[in-house]
Amino acid sequence: MEEISSSLYDFAELRGTESVYVDKTAWLYRLVSDRRQKLYFISRPRRFGKSLMISTLRCIFEGRRELFDGLAIAKTDYDWKPYKVLHFNFADMDASSLEAFKDDLFLRVRDVVLDAGLERIPEDRKTAGQVLDYALRTFGEADSPVVVLIDEYDAPIAHALTQKVGLAEEIRFTLSQLYVRLKTFMSTIRFLMLTGVTKFNQASLFSALNNIADLSMDPDYADMLGYTEEELTAYFDGYMRRHAQRMRLSYEDYRAELKRWYDGYRFSPKSLAHVYNPVAIAMALTSKPDATGQAETFGQTWTTTGPTSLLTASVKRGDLLRIQPDEELPVQPALLGAVTDLSAINAKAILFQAGYLTLADPKPDREGLWLTVPNEEVRRDYEALYLNQVVRRPDGEWQSDFREALLKGLPGDALPLLKDLFAGLPYSPTESIQEANCRRLMMTLFPGYERRAEEPNSAGKRSDLVLTFPNVVYVIEFKNTAADTADTAIAQIKARGYAEPYLRSGRTVYAMGLAFDPKDHTLKDAKAEKLA
């Protein structure tokens, strides 16, 4: 049986080791055979198959027909003519300073053009742009068409943003001086493909090559990267069945849970296609059985490999605090396209490009584009990012103590901890305390448990929040007027019957009132009462 790899991004190596390869060459054939269009760009979250796609294109254009036996492109009329291929990968460049970046860029461009067959580089070519200019000119004079593949073209800019915007601007300008050379030699270029997480509008590539086709939201390529439900069945059925047995789940329940945890990415407003994160699937299916003999559980996979640099920069600035991970958000289409101002990147755009938000499915009662968290894995990581910004306690003791107290049905131990927490929450004068802060945070604190906001009872009355744990239920009401107290909040819970649906559940039920000072937004009064 073929092996599943979560770390091989080289197509030739993947095929040589007889690892599972989900055949995406039908999409690639469509690209390489269209002579009316030869310039392409696609953005996707990190570790979503971009590098493997670029490596596959390289093998196609190098004419390595033997690697594609049995794949879709081998059954077409593609001619397998070999080309000079300039394959750049900018994912791990040194962006610690402008000088370090320029040195690294020069060395990479030099090595790539020599690897493509350039015999020598004149000594007077001192910059990366000059080297690329010389290589393209030389190949053009020899009537040798060139294929240019640039993987993670935006990574140096994003890395620099974690330090300072000024450095990112300098690196963007330096890259623009490299990319603009391509326009001069368009007659020499047979095909160009760039990948990245973000489309930086002023990187000159997109302004110089104004006829580049952006596939990022193209419905015809919505499932070119990532795995569809049908591809999972076709390529991983046996692996999933074994994994389901280890997890002690029926195959139907297993597929439903797998979907809940790792599916949900939707990239085109004009397509309903959903895809699974490919790295998440590989890591989940190659997880090791529990040595204790306990049944396996799904957990975080792709999110453990680290966030994108843009997301890291946004976390440092605190941009994510006002975007709730538990609800769908309207968004203007323009925000999801190109980034122009590096000092003011919209937080929704960052989360979308990083894979923490995705396009929500359309609904008959609303218009426009909406964003949602794609799946349970991302939801939990997003909630952890949000919580860490709020709590700012690296030891994690506060969070564990608070959870433990509520899970054990000891609200008296938990309530004092809330005062410290809410004292540090950011807010604006127009935000309502309970909606913008309290409910958002309380839901974030308990991933994996049932959390319901605005839950109606049989009389149509809606409680602010209900937290349901294995042995205890908390019905919570938030108040934020000067006259309100925790007692008035609890009295409302009783009078309106918010707790009625839970009193016969076999669990202990508490009414919890949280009253806030409307002036400074601190928690002034908190109380919990056990209900009969």
The larger pLDDT score, comparing residue 441 to residue 214, is at 214
Q: What percent of the chain has pLDDT over 90?
A: 42
H helices within 424-507, ranges in order? 433, 439-444, 486-495
Q: What is the pLDDT of residue 99?
A: 93
In what side-by-side order are the strands of the sheet with 358-359? 329-331, 369-372, 358-359
Question: How much is the mean pLDDT over the chain?
Answer: 84
pLDDT digits (tens, 9 = 90+) for 473-528: 999 888 888 888 999 999 999 999 898 888 888 889 999 988 888 777 678 888 89
* Co-location of 172 and 310 in the same domain: no
Least-confidence region, from 357-361, 417-421, 505-509: 417-421
The larger pLDDT score, comparing residue 433 to residue 39, is at 39
Mean pLDDT of 206-229: 88
* Co-location of 373 and 467 in the same domain: no
Q: Is 23 inside a domain boundary? A: yes
Is pLDDT of 125 > 70? yes
Q: What is the pLDDT of residue 429?
A: 45
Q: What is the pLDDT of residue 315?
A: 59
Least-confidence region, from 71-75, 273-277, 331-335: 331-335
Q: Is 2 inside a domain boundary? A: no
* Co-location of 50 and 155 in the same domain: yes
Range of the domain at 471: 394-532
Is pLDDT of 231 > 80? yes
* Co-location of 430 and 288 in the same domain: no
Q: Is 443 inside a domain boundary? A: yes
pLDDT digits (tens, 9 = 90+) for 363-415: 888 888 999 999 999 888 887 777 766 665 544 566 778 778 888 888 888 88
**CATH (domain of 128):** 3.40.50
Task: Catalogue the long-range contacts made by 229-236 (C-beta closer than 8 Å, 24 or more residues apart).
Answer: 229/259, 229/263, 229/274, 229/276, 231/22, 232/258, 232/276, 232/281, 235/20, 235/22, 236/4, 236/20, 236/281, 236/285
Residue 208 pLDDT grade (very low, low, confident, very high; cuts 50, 70, 90) = low
* Co-location of 136 and 188 in the same domain: yes
* Co-location of 387 and 426 in the same domain: no
Q: Is 6 inside a domain boundary? A: no
Is pLDDT of 76 > 70? yes
Q: Is 90 inside a domain boundary? A: yes
Q: Is 1 inside a domain boundary? A: no
* Co-location of 119 and 263 in the same domain: no
* Co-location of 24 and 70 in the same domain: yes
Is pLDDT of 204 > 70? no
Q: Is 321 inside a domain boundary? A: yes
Q: Is 3 inside a domain boundary? A: no
Last residue in a domain, options 195, 216, 237: 216
Question: Domain tally for the chain?
Answer: 3
